[in-house]
Chain A
Amino acid sequence: MFSTELAQTLLSGVLMGLIFSLVAVGLTLIWGIMDIVNFAHGDFLMSGMYISYWMYALWGIDPLLSLPVSGAFLFFLGMVAYRLVIRRILGAPMLIQIFATFGIMILMRYLAFYFFKPNYRSIQQTLLSGNIDLHGVYLSIPQLAAAAGAFLTTGAVYVLIHKTRVGGALQATAEDREAAALMGINTDRMFTLAWGIGAATAGIAGSLLSTFFYIFPEVGGIFGLIAFVAVTLGGFGNVAGAFVAGILIGVVEAMAGYLYDPALKTVFVYVLFLGVLFFRPQGLLGVE
């Protein structure tokens, strides 16, 4: 009985962790490439959730089908945020950069609050409803599908960064902005692209989450903070690191809820974060 519960906890932790990974990958991309912390990242995710919710509520479109829409829309939104705001503060002091993205966060969160009201919403019936029973361990199919989707998307970003020419240009820009520009890389375009991809991954994660997680205007706060933790754990700009860290956080959170107290599970995540910050500031997987 104990082992079944433990297995259940671990598996749910891993499934949730895969989503955290996807959210963190988008954040680490922007952070690594331009050294800007995007506080609005969780709210990009919230937008993705609402896109799926409304397409479902208004037209009965399944989140599985609205997922590309929310990816595309957030890609566009990310680029707009860069062009309108971030590009103008690239050389500004860190404090100003923090505040610019904070402003975007508040703007997005309370636009959602104003138009969609603070109600908790959820999508009840999807193409993939139901549970799978693995010898007493129950896994909900929407959560399983979301984890699989997150895994595939994270993999796609990894391939894009590490195996393509554009990815090489992005990495070069992250490494040394000026040298990359001298080599003929249009760094401004790379930054725009990084914001597009970063926001799109958050949007996709939002659509995946919308099938089993409550949707409300402030939901981004939860995922935004966890993504920061994952990025720190994984090493800034490290996509593979963010992936591993996301799963680790999912498991730690689930285990803390199971062994201790669900109300305090986020405290354990933050303590993990602080521990890594103090003892391995280059990230768990990072090199000195």
Chain B
Amino acid sequence: MASGVAAGSGFLYARNGALLAAALAYPFLFRQSFPQDLAIKIFLFGGLASAWNVLGGFAGQVSLGNAIFFGVGAYAAAVVQTQWGWTPWAGMLLGMAASAGIGALIGYPCFRLKGHYFAMATLAIGEVISTLFMNWQWVGGAVGVYIPLRDDTWKYFQFGTTKLPYYYVMLAFLVSALLLSAALLRSRMGYYFRAIREDQDAARSLGVPARRYKLAAMGISAALTSAGGSLYAQYVLFIDPHSVFPMMLSIQVVLIAILGGVGTLWGPVVGAMVLIPLSEFTRIYIGGTGSGLDLIAYGLLIIVISVIQPRGVLGFFRKAGAA
């Protein structure tokens, strides 16, 4: 059952409006850098996990290579500035188009594969693309790209003195991902996605062009993920293949979706709200960057989640649960 559609719509508008108002007011209640940074990361990863969810959750194609699109988006935003002096917004659009194209190129052969094989193929392609960027000197090779620093500007989306613009843009990113997901869940395309996920052969026998719709899911997922990558590049202002193409990122977005509930509208957001603070706090309080303790906790957490609660956090609250 599509989450969030079943209950009365008046209640839903009120609840979503309240959530949005709270999100808009948050940076004025929490003015320090840390809570704002935390929220920015939650929005980013909530959006990335929603993007994955379109392909992996709605259409049931488990991609372990979504970092490809994140990286392409990050590089597009950065490289158009360093090479051509364009604004990163143009780079973001370029990256989204490129990612959708790359997604189609990957999807076309890979969608013949099922289950493990599809997952493994996307994982391998992710490693190939990461290695290629590592050796592509025009985009900085292994050294990466430093985005030239400027005074606060919307044109080049850089703000050294305040996090507020980043906060609201990341929020807009998450809200767009959610609106798109909600629209998809209710559209014919969304029903086709789920039909393909549940039983591809049956869907096809009823006249659903499975491959075309899987490609559409891949394109949407890729373009959204890419936009997140571009925004991330502008937020950190330095990228290299290790930071924007890591396999861990591909894994993390899936984990967030699993944690919150795969295939649901709010699952990725709930997952991000649980996992991102958890990993940030373990990093700060028990780990400190670089010791590995935070990742030990992370690994344990993944094992525990897989063993006890395969339906995600939302599964605790909703009996019907996510498929």
How distant is the Cα of A273 from the Cα of B121 in the complex, in angstroms?
Answer: 8
Contact B135 A263 (CB under 8 A): yes
- Residues of B that sit less than 8 Å from A by CB: 56, 62, 64, 109, 112-113, 115-117, 119-121, 123-125, 127-128, 131-132, 134-135, 251, 254-255, 258, 262, 291-293, 295-296, 298-307, 310
Contact A277 B251 (CB under 8 A): no
Contact A96 B306 (CB under 8 A): yes
Q: Give the residue of A85, A96, A113, A270 whose beta carbon is less than 8 angstroms from that of B310.
A: A96
How distant is the Cα of A110 from the Cα of B295 in the complex, in angstroms?
Answer: 6
- Additional A-B contact list (13), CB under 8 Å, known A107-B299, A225-B127, A270-B128: A94-B62, A94-B115, A95-B62, A96-B258, A97-B306, A98-B62, A98-B119, A99-B254, A110-B292, A114-B296, A225-B123, A228-B124, A277-B113
Q: Give the residue of B113, B299, B310 whose beta carbon is less than 8 angstroms from that of A103.
A: B299
Q: How far is the CB of B58 from chain A (nearest CB, A)?
A: 14
Instruction: Return 11 A-B CB contacts under 8 Å, by A number.
Output: A89-B310, A100-B302, A103-B303, A106-B296, A106-B298, A110-B298, A270-B125, A277-B117, A277-B121, A278-B112, A281-B113
- Proximity string of chain A (149-171) to chain B, C-beta cutoff 8 Å, 1 when within and 0 when not: 00000000000000000000000
Q: Contacts of B117 on A, CB cut-off 8 Å? A: 232, 277, 281
- Proximity string of chain A (40-55) to chain B, C-beta cutoff 8 Å, 1 when within and 0 when not: 0000000000000000
Contact A263 B134 (CB under 8 A): yes
Q: Give the residue of B56, B124, B291 whose beta carbon is less than 8 angstroms from that of A274.
A: B124
Contact B307 A110 (CB under 8 A): no
Contact A89 B307 (CB under 8 A): yes
Contact B251 A102 (CB under 8 A): yes
Contact A100 B306 (CB under 8 A): yes
Interface of B, helix, strand, loop or mixed by DSSP: helix
Q: How far is the CB of B129 from chain A (nearest CB, A)?
A: 9
Q: Contacts of B115 on A, CB cut-off 8 Å? A: 94
Interface of A, helix, strand, loop or mixed by DSSP: helix
How distant is the Cα of A106 from the Cα of B131 in the complex, in angstroms?
Answer: 21
Number of A-B contacts (CB under 8 A): 120
Contact B124 A99 (CB under 8 A): no
Q: Contacts of A37 on B, CB cut-off 8 Å? A: 116, 120
- The yes or no answer to A10 lying at the interface (CB within 8 A) is no
Closest residue to B125 on the A side, CB-wise?
Answer: A274
Given the known interface contacts A93-B310, A267-B128, A267-B132, the answer about A106 and B254 at a Cβ–Cβ threshold of 8 Å is: no
Q: How far is the CB of B306 from chain A (nearest CB, A)?
A: 4
- Proximity string of chain A (76-91) to chain B, C-beta cutoff 8 Å, 1 when within and 0 when not: 0000000001001100
How distant is the Cα of A104 from the Cα of B307 in the complex, in angstroms?
Answer: 12
- The yes or no answer to A7 lying at the interface (CB within 8 A) is no
- The yes or no answer to A271 lying at the interface (CB within 8 A) is yes
- The yes or no answer to A8 lying at the interface (CB within 8 A) is no
Q: Contacts of B132 on A, CB cut-off 8 Å? A: 264, 267
Q: How far is the CB of B289 from chain A (nearest CB, A)?
A: 12
Given the known interface contacts A95-B62, A113-B292, the answer about A229 and B124 at a Cβ–Cβ threshold of 8 Å is: yes
Q: Contacts of A281 on B, CB cut-off 8 Å? A: 113, 117
Q: Contacts of B127 on A, CB cut-off 8 Å? A: 225, 266, 270
- The yes or no answer to A105 lying at the interface (CB within 8 A) is yes
- The yes or no answer to A111 lying at the interface (CB within 8 A) is yes
Q: Contacts of A225 on B, CB cut-off 8 Å? A: 123-124, 127
Q: Give the residue of B64, B119, B291, B303 whose beta carbon is less than 8 angstroms from that of A107.
A: B303
Q: Contacts of A113 on B, CB cut-off 8 Å? A: 291-292, 295
Q: Contacts of B305 on A, CB cut-off 8 Å? A: 99, 103
